[in-house]
Structure 1
Amino acid sequence: MTEEFRAAFQRVLDTAASQAPGFPEAVHDVFRLSSQVPREELAIALEALTPVLGDCEPHAGVAADLSVLAGALVESGAPAGQVGLEVLRQLGSYGQAAVAFIHAWEKTGGGPLPAPNDAGEAEEQRVEQVLGDNAPLATVGWWTSLRYGLAAKAMLGDSGVRAAVRADPGALHELGQIVQALSTRLNEFGEVGELLRMSEADRLIVLDRASRRGFRVAFDGVSDNFQLHTLLADALIGKEGHRLPGTRPDPRWVAASLDGPVDPMADVVRGEWDLVGGDGTWVGNEACPGDVPVVDGERVLVLEPQSLLHSWRAGRRHPHITGSLTVLEELRPDQATAWWARTHPAGTVRHPQAPPLENDDTGAHGRPPRHFGEAAHFAEVDSGPMSAPFAALDPDADAPGGGLSSSFEDVTINPGAAPVFPDTPASLFDPPARPPKEDEDDEDELDDFTVPAAWSGALSPGPGLDDPLGSPLDEPEWREPRSLSDPGPFEDPAPGSPAADPPPSDDRPPGARLLPPMPPGVSDSSTWAPHWKWPMGPPGR
C-alpha cells in the first residue's frame, strides 16, 4: 500500500507542475490511500509538496486543489511543516482578491453573491465596472476562497503552524482582517478566525488576588477563557497544584479541556474567579487569551474573587485540538510585589452583570449573591449546542462577534430563585409559627425573630466558620421549646384544637404573618429580590 501511495503522489506532483489532464484522478487516488499509510510517509509527501505548491500558485485551480490535499494529509496525522505556512500565505493573496470581489459586487448592485464554485465570466464582467483590469484576479480569488478556507482550517490545527504565525504579528493581523471580511459571507472562515485568535497568545503572567502570588504560565490549544479558567484552576489550586485557595475543578472538566470527551455526568463547570486584565479592564470567560491586555510587554491576568457566580459547559471549541497549560515558574515575592503595584486596587473591577455594591448603616458592603445548591446551579445552564461556531476577530460581551453564536455561555446564577421541587408541598418551606409573647411591641418583632433551623445551613457557612466577608455570622437566637402537646411543623393538629381552626383571612401572601418586615430596599414579594441585604441590619432599623 505504501508503494501504491508513493506512485499516486508522484503522479500528483508531475501532473500539477505540467497542468496535465491526469491531475484530478491522481489527487483522488492520494485521498483514497492516505488513510492506509503510516504518518511518516505522509510527512515525507508533505515535505515534497511544499515547493510544488509554491510553483503552482499562478495556476489558481491547481494550487487550491493542492492546498486541500495538503490539508487532508495534515488531518490524517502528518505535521504541517512548511506547507502549512505556504497555504496561509496563498490564502492571504487570493483572500485579499476575494475581498475585493465582494466589495465590487456590493458597489454594482449587491444581491446574493454567487457560490464560489459558480463564479465565472459573467460575474467577472460585472465587477470589472469597479475593478477594471483587476477583475479577473478578484474573480479567481472568490472562486478559490472556499478551498483555501478548508485548507487553512486544517493547517491552523497544527501547533507548529500556530507558533509560526504568532511569531509574525504583522502577518497575523493582516491575515486576520482578510479572514474576518470573508467570514461575513462564508461560514467556513468563522472557524479559521477562531484558530487565528488561538494563535495570538501562549504566555501569561497570572496574579492571584487572594494570596498575592504570581505565576508565569504557558499554554497551547486554548481557544477561549472558559477553557483557560478551567486549566488555571487545575494547575494552581490546592496541594495538587500550587496551593492557591479555592475549590479544585472536577477532573472530568479538566480532561474535557485537554484532550478528552465531555462527560455527560459532569458537563457543567463552576467558575472560581473573575478574570480581570492587569490594566484594570474586565476580561471575563467569554473572551480569548489574546484579549488579555498587555502591560509593560506582558499579558497580565488577575484572578479576582467572584463578584457573581457563573458556570459554563465543559469541553473545547475545537475537539480535534489538544489543550495544554504549564506553570513555568512562580514569581519571586519582589517580582510579584512589583506587578501588584501596577495593577488596580482590590474590589474596583467587578462582573459587568453583578449588582452594584450597597452600603448598610454599618458601612459594610452587601454580600455577593448566592445560589441555593446544585439544583439551582445546574438549572441556570444553557442547554444549547456545544460546537456552534463563533466569529473571527471581534469578541463581544458573550462570544466573538460577526453574527455567529458562541457554544459556551457564561451563565449567571439567579440569586432570586427559590429552590423548586415539583412534588414537594409549599408548606415545607414555610417556617414554623412562633407563639407571640405577651406585652411585646411590634417594633421588637425583628429583634425576636429566630432563624428556623432548617434555613440556617443555607444562610451561613456552618458552625465555627466565618462569613466570607470576614465578620462572624450571628448565632441563631434561643427560642422557647415547643410543648409536647403542640403539633410539630410536619404533624397534623388534633381535631378541635385551636391550631386546626383556619387562620383569619387577610390580603397577605401565605406565610407572610410568620416573617419579619422586609429590610429597606427589598421588594415585598414571594421570592428574594436581587438586592437582598445580608446580613440584616441592627434590630429596629
Structure 2
Amino acid sequence: MTEEFRAAFQRVLDTAASQAPGFPEAVHDVFRLSSQVPREELAIALETLTPVLGDSEPHAGVAADLSVLAGALVESGAPAGQVGLEVLRQLGSYGQAAVAFLHAWEKTGGGPLPAPNDVGEVEEARVEQVLGDNAPLATVGWWTSLRYGLAAKAMLGDSGVRAAVRADPGALHELGQIVQALSTRLSEFGETAELLRMSEVDRLLVLDRASWRGFRVAFDGLSDNFQLHTLLADALIGKEGHRLPGTRPDPRWVAASLDAAVDPLADVVRGEWDLVGGDGTWVGNEACPGDVPLVDGERVLVLEPQSLLHSWRAGRRHPHVPGSLTVLAELHPDEAAAWWARVHPAGSVRHPQAPAIENDDTGAHRRPPTHFGVAAHFAEVDSGPMSAPFAALDPHLDAPGGELSASFEDITINPGAGAGFPDSPASLFDPPARPPEPADDAEDEPDDFTVPAAWSGALTPTAPGTDDPAEFPGSLSEPPLDEPLWRDPRPLPDPGADVRPANAPAADDPSVIAPVADDPRDTPRDTPLPPGARLLPPMPPGVSDGSTWAPHWKWPMGPPGR
C-alpha cells in the first residue's frame, strides 16, 4: 500500500507541474490511500509538496486543489510544517482578491452572491465595472475561496502553524481581516477565524484576588475563556495545584478541556471566579484569551470572587484541537505587590448581569442569588483586504497527531473550471482555608518557556454546499426544575433497619431510661406521624419543616407537590 501511495503522489506532483489532464484522478487516488499508510509517509509527502504548491500558485485551480490535499494529509496525522504556512500565504493572496470581488459585487447592485464553484464570465463582467483589469483575478479569488478556507482550517489545527503565525503579529492581523470579511459570506470561514484568534496569545499574567498571589502561565489550543477558566482552576486551586483557595474542578471537566471527549455524566462545569482584565475591564468566560487586555505590555487577568454564579458545558469549542496550560512561575511577593498597585481595586468590577449590591441593617453585603450566565460568541467584523506573508516555520515545532477526516474526499477536484457536581454541599458552606504565604526567598524564575510540540487532531470540515452550523459547547441557562443542582448520593435507609443516630445508646443498654428526646423514630408505633418521619432524624433546631424550606444549593425549589 505504501508503494501504491508513493506512485499516486508522484503522479500528483508530475501532473500538477505540467497541468496534465490526469491531475484530478491522481489527487483522488492520494485521498483514498492516505488513511492506509504510516504517518511518516504522509510527512515525507507533505515535505515534497511544499515547493510544488508554491510553483503552482499562478494556476489557481491546481493550487487550491493541492492546498485541500495538503489539509487532508495534515488531518491524517502529518505535521503541517512549511506547507501549512504556504497555504495560509496563498489564502492571504487569493483571499484578498475574493474580498475585492465581494466589495465590487455590493457596489454593482448587491443581491445573492454566486456560489464560489459557480462563478463565471457573467459575474466577472459585472464586477469589471468597478475593478477594471483586476476583475479576472478577483473572480478567481472568489472561485477558489472555499477550498482555501477548508485547507486553512486544517492547517490552523496544527500547533506549530499557530506558533509561527503568532510570531508574526503583522501577518496575523492582516490575514485575520481577510478571514473575518469572508466569514460574513461563507460560513466555512467562521471556524477559520476562531482558529486564527486562538493563535493570538499563548501567555498570561494571572493575579488571584483572594490570595494576592500572581502567576505567569503558558497555554495552547484554548479557543475561549470557558476552557481557560477550567484549566486555570485545575492548575492553581488546592494542594494538587498551587494552593489557591476554592473548589477544585472535576477531573472529567479538565480532561474534556485538554484532549478527551465530554463525559455525559459530568458535562456541566461550575465557575470559580469572575475574569477581569488588569485595566479594570470585564473579560468574562464568553471571550477568548486574546481579549485579555494589555497592561504595561503584558496581558493581565485578575481572578475576582464571583459576583454572579455561572456554569457552562464542558468540552472544547474545536474538539480536534487539544488544549494545554502550564504554570511557568509564581511571582515574587514584591513583584506581585507591584502589580496589585497597578490594577483596579477590589469590588470595583462585577459581572454585567449581576444584581445591584444591597446593604442590610447591619451594613453587610447580601449574598447574590444563584444564577447562570449565558454564553455569547465572538462578534465578527467585516474588514478590508490585505496581504499576509509569513516567516519560515521553526522545524522543531513539527509533530504528528490525529486521523484522516473523510469529508475532504467530498471536494470536487476540477481545475480550470467553474453535569454533574461531585462535591459535597458542605464544600459550598465551608470557608476556604487560608493559603500558605509564599516563601520569602522565592525567586522570579526566568521565562524560558518554549512552544509545546505540535499535534494535529481529526477535523471534519464543512463540505461545499453544506450550511449546517457546527455545534459548540456554550453556556448553561437557568436549570430545569426537575434537575436539581445537587442530589444527595446517600441511599435511602432500609425501613426495617436500625437507623438510630450513631451517638445514640444501644437499644438493649440497661442504662437507657428514656428514648432520645424528640426523635420521632422512638414514638410508639400507634402514634400518628407524618409519612417517613420514622426514617429521618429530627430537623436541626430553628429550621422549619415546611415544604418551602431548602438549603441554598437546592434553590430554586420545584413546583408544589414535587
TM-score range, shorter chain: 0.7 to 0.9
Q: Where in structure 2 are there 5+ consecutive unaligned residues?
A: 383-468, 485-517, 534-543, 549-555, 558-562
* Residue 217 in structure 1 maps to residue 217 in structure 2: yes
Q: Is the 8 A contact 1:159 1:220 kept in 2?
A: yes
Give the direction of change, closer, same or farther, for the CA distance of 1:186–1:152 in structure 2 (3 Å limit).
same
Give the equivalent residue in structure 2 for 1:441.
none
Residue by residue, what CA displacement relative to the aligned partner does 1:450-482 show, whole Å, maximum 9, x if unpaired? xxxxxxxxxxxxxxxxxxxxxxxxxxxxxx999
Q: What does residue 437 of structure 2 align with? A: none
Query: Structure 1: how far apart are the matches of 2:223 and 2:183?
Result: 18
Distance in structure 1 (CA, Å) of the matches to 2:44 and 2:528:
85
Q: Cα offset for 1:110? A: 1.1
Secondary structure in 1 aligned to 2:219?
A: strand
Paired AA for residue 472 in structure 2 = S
Letter in 2 for 1:19: Q
Amino acid at match of 2:5: F
The 8 Å contact of residues 238 and 246 in structure 1, kept in 2 or not, is answered as yes
Q: Does 1:370 align with 2:365?
A: no
Contact 2:116 2:145 in 1 (8 A): yes
- In structure 2, the partner of 1:322 is 322
Alignment of 1:58-457 (within 5 A): 58-370=58-370, 393=380, 407-411=472-476
- The code of the aligned residue for 1:17 comes to A
Q: Deviations over 1:191-223 (max 9, x none)?
A: 000100100111010111101111111111110
**Per the alignment, in what secondary structure is the counterpart of residue 347 of structure 2?**
coil
For residues 91 and 491 of structure 1, the distance between their equivalents in structure 2, rounded to whole angstroms, comes to 70
Shift of residue 488, structure 1, vs aligned partner:
6.3
Q: Distance in 1 between matches of 2:60 and 2:532?
A: 84
Aligned to 2:175, the other structure's residue is in SS state helix
SS in 2 for 1:317: coil
**Aligned pairs (5 A) from 1:440-519:** none
Greater C-alpha Rg: 1
2 CA distance for matches of 1:159 and 1:323? 10
> 1:166: how far off?
0.6
SS in 2 for 1:16: helix
Structure 2: how far apart are the matches of 1:367 and 1:231?
Answer: 27
Note the C-alpha offset of 1:368.
Answer: 2.0
Letter in 2 for 1:18: S
Distance in 1 (alpha carbons) for counterparts of 2:267 and 2:532? 41
- 1:360 and 1:82 map into 2 onto residues whose CA distance is 64
**Does the aligned pair in 2 maintain the 1:238–1:247 contact within 8 Å?**
yes
8 Å Cα contact 2:172-2:196 kept in structure 1: yes
1:504 aligns with none
Contact 1:194 1:393 in 2 (8 A): no
Cα shift at 1:124: 0.3
Task: State the 1:410 CA deviation.
Answer: 3.8
Question: What is the letter of the counterpart of residue 326 of structure 2?
Answer: T
Q: Distance in 1 between matches of 2:71 and 2:343?
A: 44
Q: CA deviation at 1:262?
A: 0.5
- After TM superposition, the score normalised by the length of structure 2 is 0.70
Q: How many angstroms does 1:17 deviate by?
A: 1.1
Task: Give the distance between the partners of 1:210 and 1:226, measured in 2 at CA.
Answer: 20
Aligned partners of 2:181, 2:368: CA distance in 1, in Å?
42
Aligned to 1:24: 24
The verdict on how the C-alpha distance between 1:178 and 1:284 changes in structure 2, with shifts beyond 3 A counting, is: same
Q: Which secondary structure state, in structure 1, belongs to the residue aligned with residue 311 of structure 2?
A: strand
| CA RMSD, 1 decimal | 3.1
The 8 Å contact of residues 156 and 192 in structure 1, kept in 2 or not, is answered as: yes
Q: Residue 381 and residue 252 in structure 1: after superposition, are their counterparts in 2 closer, same or farther (change >3 A)?
A: farther
- 1:33 is displaced (CA, Å) by 1.0
Following superposition, the deviation at residue 491 of structure 1 comes to 9.9
Say if 1:491 and 1:160 are closer, same or farther in 2 by CA, change over 3 A: closer
Q: Determine if contact 1:204/1:301 at 8 Å carries over to the other structure.
A: yes
Structure of higher RCO (CA pairs closer than 8 Å, 6+ residues apart): 2
Tell whether the 8 Å contact from 1:221 to 1:321 is kept in structure 2 after alignment.
Answer: yes
Distance 1:406 1:11, change over 3 A: closer
CA distance in 2, matches of 1:300, 1:355: 26
Q: CA deviation at 1:408?
A: 3.7
Partner SS for 2:341: helix
| Cα distance change of structure 1 residues 84 and 491 upon mapping to structure 2, 3 Å threshold | closer
- Secondary structure of the residue that 2:48 maps to in structure 1? helix
Contact 1:270 1:310 in 2 (8 A): yes
Contact in 2 for aligned 1:191/1:391 (Cα 8 Å): no
Q: Distance in 2 between matches of 1:419 and 1:34?
A: 49
Output the CA distance in 1 between the equivalents of 2:381 and 2:369: 31
Task: Give a deviation string over 1:167-196, Cα, whole Å, max 9, x none.
Answer: 111111111111111011111000000100
Shift of residue 361, structure 1, vs aligned partner? 2.9
Secondary structure of 1:89's match?
Answer: helix
User: In structure 2, what is the equivalent of residue 426 of structure 1?
Assistant: none
Q: Which amino acid aligns with 2:102?
A: I
CA-CA distance at 1:2 after TM superposition: 1.3
**Do the aligned partners of residues 167 and 420 (structure 1) sit closer, same or farther apart at CA in structure 2, a change above 3 Å counting?**
closer
Q: Residues 180, 392 of structure 1: CA spacing in aligned structure 2 closer, same or farther, 3 A cutoff?
A: farther
CA distance in 2, matches of 1:165, 1:413: 39
Alpha-carbon distance change, 394 to 216 in structure 1, aligned in 2, over 3 angstroms: farther
| Cα offsets for 1:135-156 (capped at 9, x unmatched) | 0000000000000000000000
SS of aligned partner of 1:351: coil
CA contact under 8 A between 2:16 and 2:23: conserved in structure 1?
yes
The separation in 1 between residues aligned to 2:378 and 2:185, in whole angstroms, is: 12
C-alpha offsets along residues 293-325 of structure 1, whole Å, 9 cap, x if unaligned? 111111111110110110000000111111111
Q: Which amino acid aligns with 2:123?
A: E
Cα distance in 2, alignment partners of residues 487 and 418 from structure 1: 32
1:316 to 1:278, Cα distance in 2 relative to 1, 3 A: same
* 1:13 partner letter: L
Which aligned segments of 4 or more residues in structure 1 are displaced greater than 6 angstroms? Answer: 417-421, 484-492
Question: In structure 2, what is the Cα distance between the partners aligned to 1:165 and 1:12?
Answer: 28
Counterpart of 1:41? 41
Q: Secondary structure at the match of 2:190?
A: helix
Provide the rounded CA distance (Å) in 1 between the counterparts of 2:181 and 2:482: 47
Measured in 2, the distance between the counterparts of 1:52 and 1:269 equals 47
> Does the CA contact (< 8 Å) of 2:34 and 2:42 recur in 1?
yes
How far 1:359 sits from its partner (Å)?
Answer: 2.0
* Alignment partner, residue 8 of structure 1: 8
Q: Is the 8 A contact 1:197 1:392 kept in 2?
A: no
Change (3 A) 1:393 1:297: farther
**Conserved in 2, the CA contact under 8 Å of 1:280 and 1:349?**
yes
